[in-house]
Structure 1
Amino acid sequence: MVEKEGFAALVLRLRAEGISDLDLLTAVEQTPRSLFVPPQFAEQAYSSRSIPIECGAFIEGADLAVRLLANLHVKPGQRVLEIGTGSGFIAAVLGRISERVMSIDRYKMLIGAAQRRLDSLALRNVVLRQADGSNGLTGEGTFDRILATAAFPSMPRFLAEQLVSGGVLLAPLMTGEETCTMVRLTKTGSRFDREDLFEVPYLPLVPKVASFL
């Protein structure tokens, strides 16, 4: 019941924002958010507030998660890289609308918990890996879409190089001591078009720590 009511309320809020992509909303509906939050927060799984999870991380509010996915414009047949697995919710939704998802996180514990959730949903095209995301993911070729949910101090050019032509990168940039803006880069040949989208609550990326966690 919580799932149905929560999802219905979320859809109304998203429609008010102009988000009505049926494939995306169907993928969200098929991915029960209460699986991805600690049990004591199940009632708030579809709220717009961030919810704390293990390792001092958090799962972004439902509205923000879907808004990011809507701005990524993922299409069937595409390969997607996610930097910052967290709870695994976004990776799970991406798995329903793309060909293949690689998702990395620096915390072994988060990767393990996310893997169990994906297994319970029988999502086989999502590969999780514990890795330091400050260099993207080398050795896996290029991606059609890249989504980062850890904030970079400046535009991560090395990530843009892991995109195919026509690819899209969504990454949060630190724009002040406490402020962080989601930026979308679209790659055309060797050129990039940049759009600043909206403020987001993400934490700064901490490089080189995956090997210790």
Structure 2
Amino acid sequence: MYKAGWMRCHDSHELSGIGMTSQRTRDRMAGRLAEAGITDARVLDVMAREPRHLFLDEALAHRAYEDTSLPIGHGQTLSQPWMVARMSELVVASGARRVLEIGTGSGYQTLVLSRLVEAVWSLERIRVLQNRARMRLARLGVRNVRLRLTDGAHGWPEAAPFDTILLTACASELPVALLSQLSDSGTLIAPLEDADGSQWLTRVVRRGDGYDHQRLERVRFVPLLEGVIR
């Protein structure tokens, strides 16, 4: 089902040069993010430092630092830089140490989270995407991420509770299993769809057996789907 164990760093010579390409371009991207309202210095620093272009096919790598989402295959996308930064900022603001990510995708959001929190558990339902993400994260020396191939709606019960759960796809309603895997005062961050089809980035905070919901801003994400594609 999945490769057990935490990601381990590769030899330093293998990493030489990674992260240096397009540094000026990344700095400009971080500057645009700050102008667009991202205020957390840690998030901006990670976005400026990490090589987003390595998380796209070579044909699209030259567009990696544009303010747009980009396809990664299998009907999935790499979210625009602002959305990655915004969701990461919300995770940091929650004070999270242990984070569950639903939807590894390309692995870029996973990478950003790994630089900001103590440990990340990340679920992906499409094996090809998970394999690519695993290789990219290993190449960049990520050591605090664990990956699993599974339907994200089930979460990762044996690793629960989590301080924060982050959904990178849109749900019409939140899976009960995920809510139950939040720690008390834990935060779930997710795009949720209204009856009229509009999507809202939503923050849900667990208060004992109850949950407080707060709408943040309109967003546009691919839908949260069930089932595993091997």
- For normalisation by structure 2, the TM-score amounts to 0.84
- The 5 Å alignment of 1:190-205 reads 190-205=209-224
Report the CA distance between 1:16 and its aligned residue: 2.1
1:123-164, Cα deviation, whole Å (9 max, x unpaired): 011111111012222222210111001211123343122111
Amino acid at match of 2:47: V
Which of 9, 21, 38 is 2:57 aligned to?
Answer: 38
Q: How many Å apart are 1:28 and its aligned residue?
A: 2.2
Compare 27-36 and 81-90 and name the one that shifted more.
Answer: 27-36
C-alpha separation in 1, matches of 2:50 and 2:214: 29
What percent of counterpart residues are identical? 34
> Given the alignment, which residue of 31, 36, 40 partners 1:21?
40
Deviations 1:92-111 (A, max 9, x none): 11111111101011000000
Cα separation, partners in 2 of 1:90 and 1:68, compared to 1, 3 Å: same
Quick check: 1:47 aligned with 2:63? Answer: no
Unaligned runs of 5+ in 2: 1-19
Aligned pairs, how many?
A: 211
Which of 104, 107, 131 is matched with 1:85 structurally?
104
User: How far, CA to CA, are the matches of 1:122 and 1:199 in structure 2?
Assistant: 34
Answering whether residue 149 of structure 2 is matched by residue 139 of structure 1, we say no
**Which amino acid letter does the alignment assign opposite residue 185 of structure 2?**
G
User: Is this contact kept in 1: 2:179–2:188, CA < 8 A?
Assistant: yes
| 1:72 aligns to 2:61 (yes or no) | no
Equivalent of residue 76 in structure 2, options 51, 57, 70: 57
Q: In the alignment, which of 145, 148, 168 is matched to residue 149 of structure 1? A: 168
| Higher RCO (CA < 8 A, seq sep 6+) | 2
Write the deviation string for residues 62-110 of structure 1: whole angstroms up to 9, x where unpaired.
1111111112226777110000000000111111111110101100000
2:25 corresponds to: 6
The Cα shift of 1:61 comes to: 0.7
Q: Among residues 165, 168, 174, which one is paired with 2:193 in the alignment? A: 174
- Select between 114-123 and 70-79 the one with higher mean Cα deviation: 70-79
Residue 41 of structure 1: CA displacement? 1.6
After superposition, give the CA deviation of every residue in 1:25-58 in whole Å (9 maximum; x if it has no partner): 2222332101111112222212121100122211
Q: Give the CA RMSD over aligned residues.
A: 2.0
